[in-house]
């Protein structure tokens, strides 16, 4: 959708095909962070160690459903290979640059008429309860300063003074002043409204299931009942992009990472700042006035596996451990949102052209950062299509970086 935004602005005639109705995908119920602070990708030595411990606990926050599935095995091998301190270090600058670009772009979207998505640039807390995470936090703040990002350590008292209205059980927090947040549901609504008003053709219920090629270029996109001519194709099918890329003879290491969220529309519990609860990997976002959203879990599973609502108990238990006054009952099943993060094998997005066909760009694999990096990704896609120099170096995001 972001790519459509920029392509329309630069004079292209754009059609967006979705197999759904544009109203239900991962870009809605997420935590809404626009966060240069997240310069550490998903694949880290710590997560591999932790993941093995958590794997068999149904309430844990990171869970890989063991399956004899080649896509998962291939992804897992590359994930472990990517989880080295050198690679984590190398990912920091590209992740910072794309996040800062995105934040800059969202700030300009927020000034457009009709674009209202409760964007607030006030910072984000990463709250910790244990000495182990405190040590990690010190290291993260040092690294943030090296990267030129505004971040500071708060002890428990200083943190409590920032949120005086509710008790917090914590040793301290990192305060990332560099971060912003928004209300994703409103962002999507504004984006869809803007695209429609500007003659971008959004067509629902069109599952792309085939492409036709002529002389090394894709000429037609085929769905069950229609076909569409195209000069340029952008594959941005989230967690389903691996399957779509394989229709284009391209291997993409990508698995779905399911997460859940619940939103209190008129919350009696208030926070001034979004907060990541570090030990439990839960995200809390106060958004759009009185709303507050609680989200978490990373469940590497198939999109066909039924959701495990037990995991929401895990999120709510974690919240209670940090905020003892937050008594949030388990909501009715229809009030629980879940979505599938498109997880690349190293936690960096795939943005760029593919080798096999001349006119195909892939824009996916953003894992936990697809909202944060959305606007920048759209801008980069537009620059690639016009063969212009990109706003930032995108070498680290090369689609075929694993050698295929
Ligand atoms: C609990 C949770 C919290 C999160 N919090 C944050 C956060 O705070 N900040 C952040 O940056 N990110 C966050 N994320 C991650 C973020 O939500 C995702 O990275 C992002 O939404 C992915 O966007 P996408 O456009 O790639 O995929 P999607 O939004 O899933 O869109 C993909 C679209 O492709 C369509 N599609 C699939 N296959 C086909 C086909 N064959 N033909 C036609 N259409 C097809 C689908 O219908 C869908 O509409 C969170 C995720 C979760 C689960």
Note the maximum CA span of the chain: 66
Residue nearest to atom 4 of ligand 1 (CA): 30
The answer, yes or no, to whether residue 11 has pLDDT greater than 70, is yes
Dump pLDDT digits (tens) for 21-30. Answer: 999 999 999 9
Q: How far apart are the CA of 368 and the centre of ligand 1, in A?
A: 9
Q: How far apart are CA 133 and CA 173, in angstroms?
A: 10
Atom of ligand 1 nearest to the CA of 17: 43
**Would strands 33-34 and 62-64 be described as parallel, antiparallel, or unpaired?**
unpaired
Compute CA 165 distance to the chain's CA centroid, rounded to the nearest angstrom: 30
pLDDT, tens digit, for every residue of 73-103? 999 999 999 999 999 999 999 999 999 999 9
Residues 207 and 247: beta-carbon distance below 8 Å: no
What separation in Å is there between the alpha carbon of 236 and the centre of ligand 1? 9
Q: Token pair for residue 204?
A: 């629902």
Residue 26 DSSP one-character state: T
Say what the pLDDT of residue 171 is.
Answer: 98
What digits encode the pLDDT tens for the residues 130-163? 999 999 999 999 999 999 999 999 999 999 999 9
Q: Residue 307 Cα, ligand 1 centroid: separation in angstroms?
A: 16
Cβ burial 29-38 (10 Å sphere, 16+ → b, else e): bbbbbbbbbb
How many whole angstroms from 257 Cα to the centroid of ligand 1? Answer: 10
SS3 content of the chain, % helix, strand, coil (to 5): 35, 25, 45
- Quickly tell me which residue has 């394989």 as its tokens: 246
CA nearest ligand 1 atom 53, residue: 259
> Which protein residue has the closest C-alpha to ligand 1 atom 31?
238
**Hey, which residues does 141 pair with through a beta bridge?**
none
Cα separation of 92 and 29, whole Å?
26
From ligand 1's centre to the CA of 30, what distance in Å? 9
pLDDT in tens, 191-210: 999 999 999 999 999 999 99
**What distance in Å separates the CA atoms of residue 398 and residue 33, rounded to the nearest whole number?**
24
- Contact residues of ligand 1, CB 6 A cut-off: 17-20, 25-27, 30-33, 207-208, 236-240, 244, 259, 261, 283, 295, 339, 341-342, 364, 366, 368-372
What's the whole-model pTM score? Answer: 0.97
Long-range contacts of 269-272 (CB under 8 A, 24+ apart): 269/166, 269/323, 269/325, 269/326, 269/328, 270/165, 270/166, 271/163, 271/166, 272/122, 272/162, 272/163
Tell me which residue has its CA closest to atom 49 in ligand 1: 25
Specify the residue with its C-alpha closest to ligand 1, atom 1.
259
Radius of gyration of the chain (CA): 21
Identify which of 30, 247, 294, 344 to mutate to test ligand 1's pocket (most ligand atoms within 8 A of the CB): 30
pLDDT of residue 55: 67
pLDDT digits (tens, 9 = 90+) for 355-385: 999 999 999 999 999 999 999 999 999 999 9
In three-state secondary structure terms, 63 is strand
- From ligand 1's centre to the CA of 25, what distance in Å? 6
Please give the distance, rounded to the nearest whole angstrom, from the Cα atom of residue 24 to the centre of ligand 1. 9
Query: What six digits make up the tokens of 113?
Result: 């008429």
Q: Residue with the nearest Cα to atom 22 of ligand 1? A: 370
């Amino acid at each position: 959708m972001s790519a459509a935004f920029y392509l329309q602005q630069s004079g292209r005639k754009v059609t967006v095909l979705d197999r759904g109705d544009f109203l239900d995908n991962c870009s809605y119920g997420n935590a809404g962070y626009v966060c240069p602070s997240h310069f550490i990708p998903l694949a880290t030595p710590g997560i591999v160690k932790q993941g093995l411990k958590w794997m068999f606990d149904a309430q844990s926050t990171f869970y890989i459903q063991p399956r004899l599935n080649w896509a998962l095995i291939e992804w897992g091998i590359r994930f472990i290979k990517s989880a080295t301190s050198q690679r984590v270090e190398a990912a920091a600058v590209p992740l910072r640059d794309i996040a800062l670009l995105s934040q800059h772009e969202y700030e300009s979207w927020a000034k457009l008429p009709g674009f209202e998505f409760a964007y607030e640039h006030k910072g984000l807390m990463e709250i910790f309860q244990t000495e182990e995470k405190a040590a990690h936090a010190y290291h993260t703040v040092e690294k943030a300063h090296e990267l030129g990002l505004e971040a500071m350590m708060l002890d428990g008292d200083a943190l409590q003074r920032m949120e005086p209205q509710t008790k917090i059980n914590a040793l301290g927090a990192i305060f990332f002043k560099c971060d912003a947040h928004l209300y994703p549901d409103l962002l999507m609504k504004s984006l869809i409204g803007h695209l429609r008003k500007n003659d971008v053709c959004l067509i629902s219920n069109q599952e792309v299931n085939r492409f036709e090629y002529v002389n090394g270029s894709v000429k037609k996109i085929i769905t069950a009942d229609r076909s569409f001519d195209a000069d340029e194709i952008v594959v941005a099918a989230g967690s389903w992009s691996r399957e779509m890329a394989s229709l284009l003879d391209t291997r993409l290491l990508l698995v779905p990472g399911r997460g859940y969220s619940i939103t209190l529309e008129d919350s009696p519990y208030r926070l001034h700042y979004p907060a990541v609860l570090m030990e439990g990997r839960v995200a809390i976002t106060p958004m759009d006035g009185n709303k507050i959203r609680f989200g978490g879990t990373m469940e590497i599973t198939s999109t066909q596996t039924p959701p495990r609502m037990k995991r929401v108990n895990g999120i709510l238990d974690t919240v209670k451990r940090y905020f003892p006054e937050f008594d949030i009952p388990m909501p009715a099943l229809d009030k629980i949102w879940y979505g599938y993060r498109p997880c690349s094998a190293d936690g960096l997005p795939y943005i760029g052209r593919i080798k096999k066909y001349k006119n195909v760009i892939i824009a996916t694999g953003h894992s936990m950062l697809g909202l944060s990096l959305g606007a920048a990704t759209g801008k980069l896609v537009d620059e690639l299509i016009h063969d212009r120099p990109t706003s930032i170096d995108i070498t680290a995001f090369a689609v075929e970086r694993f050698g295929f």
